[in-house]
Amino acid sequence: MSHDRQGAGAPIVVDVALAMKQLEENPKMAAMMNELAFGPLAARQLAGRDELIEEMVEALEAMRAEFRAADLPYGSKAYLQSGEALAKARGEA
């Protein structure tokens, strides 16, 4: 069997980091890839999910600012929980 040309079953090499960077920089391309990979309904749901996450992050940041303004102790349970929720919403946790 000759290995001098790629055929069926040949590995496909993808630079995942580069692909992720390109998709982050080009939302239209990301939306098109989501639609091709998951179908139009799922692509709309994914787009809605991102918007919802952004709204949650904004709300959590506002809540945390209110806690700071109310002079809640840094180590208080509410302050810590708001920080944990914010980290999860941002995908940092």
- Taking only the tens place, the pLDDT of each residue in 23-65 is 888 888 888 888 888 888 888 888 788 788 888 888 878 877 7
Question: Is 23 within 8 Å of 29 (Cβ atoms)?
Answer: yes
Is the pLDDT confidence value at 5 over 60?
no
Locus of tokens 């391309």: 29
- Spatial CB neighbours of 22, under 8 Å, sequence gap ≥ 6: 29
Distance CA 44, CA 35 (A): 8
Please report, for the chain, the start and end positions of each structural domain, with discontinuous segments joined by +. 16-90
Distance CA 48, CA 17 (A): 24
* Residue-wise pLDDT tens digits, 7-19: 667 777 778 888 8
* Top-confidence residue, 91 or 75: 91
* Top-confidence residue, 46 or 6: 46
CA distances 37 to 33, 40, 43, Å, are 6, 9, 9
